[in-house]
Each structure stands twice: as structure tokens, then as C-alpha cells.
Amino acid sequence: MAAKYQIRVFGKQSCDKCHTLNQRLDKLLAKDEYAEFDKLYCDVETIDGLVAFAEAECVNPSRIPAMLVTEWNAEADEYKPVQTKEPGAQDSVCKKAKLYQYVGLQTDYSDLGKGVISPKMIQSVLAEAQD
């Protein structure tokens, strides 16, 4: 059976920030409380990764690495993006890294975000998906 949630990580092989996001996710997903989640890495420098990125329709290409949480939809027989309950709402943990319409994160390279997706931000997004 498929995991209830699939986290799609968009990145590039040569990107240190992408590598860090993957490591942080792997560490979190190894914990029992995240057993419902699986991860799919989408390398945007490959055809399959680029197609997955384009199908997501919500991530700014200049804000990679990014992650999108999807949920298994048995009726459609595929994973569908989890919609956020309050699109565009202020988020004190994720700030401008939070995706607008869907549950996920993209890197905020501004002076405020400093290009960091922290473990706390990831945990906040995973908790939102489970609510």
C-alpha cells in the first residue's frame, strides 16, 4: 500500500541546499511519528523531475529547493497536493518560504529567509498536512 502522504522534493544534484533539505527530511521521516510520509526526490535537471516540477504548478523555479506535500487519492489512483486551509495566511514559523495554496515550502533567498529551510519549518508543514 502507498504511504498516505508523499513529499515531493524539487532540487538539483549539484545544489548544497537541496542536499541539506533531503538530509533534514530523511532524518525526520525516520521517526515513528512520520510513518505516514514517504519522500520522492525530483531532480529538475532530468526529464522526469522537470515534468513533476511543472505538474506541481506552485513552486517558483528560482526558489529551489522546494517541497510539496501530496496525499494519496484512491479515487484518482494518484497523489494530489494537499491544499492549505488558509491560502496566503501569515505563518510565524515558515514566513515567506511557505507555499501559497498548497502545503509545502520553497527556499526564501531574501535577507529575511537567508535561503534556509529549517527542521522546525519542515515539522510545521508536516503537522499542517496531518491536521
Q: What is the pLDDT of residues 82-110, one digit of tens each?
A: 999 988 888 999 999 999 999 999 999 99
Which pLDDT belongs to residue 84? Answer: 94
Which pLDDT belongs to residue 88? Answer: 85
> With b meaning 16 or more CB within 10 Å and e meaning fewer, what string describes 23-38?
ebbeebbeeeebeebb
Residue whose C-alpha cell is 533531503: 22
Q: Dihedrals φ, ψ of 12, to 5°?
A: -135, 150
Residues 39 and 70: beta-carbon distance below 8 Å: no
Task: Give the domain range for residue 95.
Answer: 5-130
Q: Residue 19: which CATH number?
A: 3.40.30.10
Q: Is the predicted pLDDT of residue 2 greater than 90, yes or no? A: no
Q: How many domains does the chain have?
A: 1
pLDDT class of 1 with cuts at 50, 70, 90:
low
Residues 107 and 117: beta-carbon distance below 8 Å: yes
Structure confidence by residue, pLDDT tens digits, 53-81: 999 999 999 999 999 999 999 999 999 99
